[in-house]
Structure 1
Amino acid sequence: MLVINPYLNFAGNTEEAFNFYKSVFGGEFSMLQRFDGVPGCDGMPVAEKEKIMHVALPVKGNTLMATDALESMGQHLVAGNNFSLSIHTESKEEADDLYAKLSAGGTATMPMQDMFWGSYYGMLTDKFGIQWMISFDSVPHSNQQS
């Protein structure tokens, strides 16, 4: 089944925001990963290594997900780019097809590729300015749509 979930970007306060959302919606995080130990993040400032690379909170069959968007990684948040829609597909072929269709007339920001966390993943901004994240997981994560 194709799943679309919201993916939020925060300017360094993802942990605070998601602890708040957890208090509102209940439940437990199905994933919480910090930048510390992530490939390519060795040289980042110590304070940023403790920031959130990915967090997922299941909410009644959906998953609210987020990251800390870090200036040191070239990420600049402004109203309108602080979220993406995250699509989880049933196959690599479906991921490639949706990526090609959604990026037509838009901007392909990260091509579909195998990632270190095990997903086949890519990012794009469509011609209407909406950011999309597309992924296929050959081994589904329990209680998680990420």
Structure 2
Amino acid sequence: MAIEVTPAVLPHLVVDDAAAAIDFYVKAFGATELGRVPGPGGKLIHAALTINGSTVMLNDDFPEFNDGKSTTPKALGGTPVTIHLTVTDVESKFEQAVEAGAEVVMPLEDQFWGDRYGMVRDPFGHQWSLGQPVREVSPEEIAAAMQNQQ
């Protein structure tokens, strides 16, 4: 029997404490845990969640399998990646993340591209943006707004 595969792009996060990260994502973003695979010493070698209808994978940091280097955002001094959530009630979803322990990076504001948008950093160093489209904006309006930003 062949296994059906659905092509996808999924974020795969490395964290210092995967079990605590799962708990945080449940509280902050309403995640649903799909499963976890414990490894040596209780560290998780794999876990999967759904957040906002999409799958997110994560695992504990295993420097021993990465030339002795940690690959968590904290060990790297930050992250160049932002994971974006488009939501229908950005005010409550943003507040939920902050109440769960996320740090505000950029407060919620109406943006020139038509979204109410803000950014948070989770306790594990990963950055998340939350946005809700609030008005239609033409490409010309965006271009004009960009000119005014400079």
Which TM class, normalised by the smaller chain length? 0.3 to 0.5
User: Higher relative contact order by CA 8 Å / sep ≥ 6: 1 or 2?
Assistant: 1
Higher normalized helix content (fraction of residues): 2
TM-score by length of 1: 0.40
- Higher radius of gyration, 1 or 2: 2
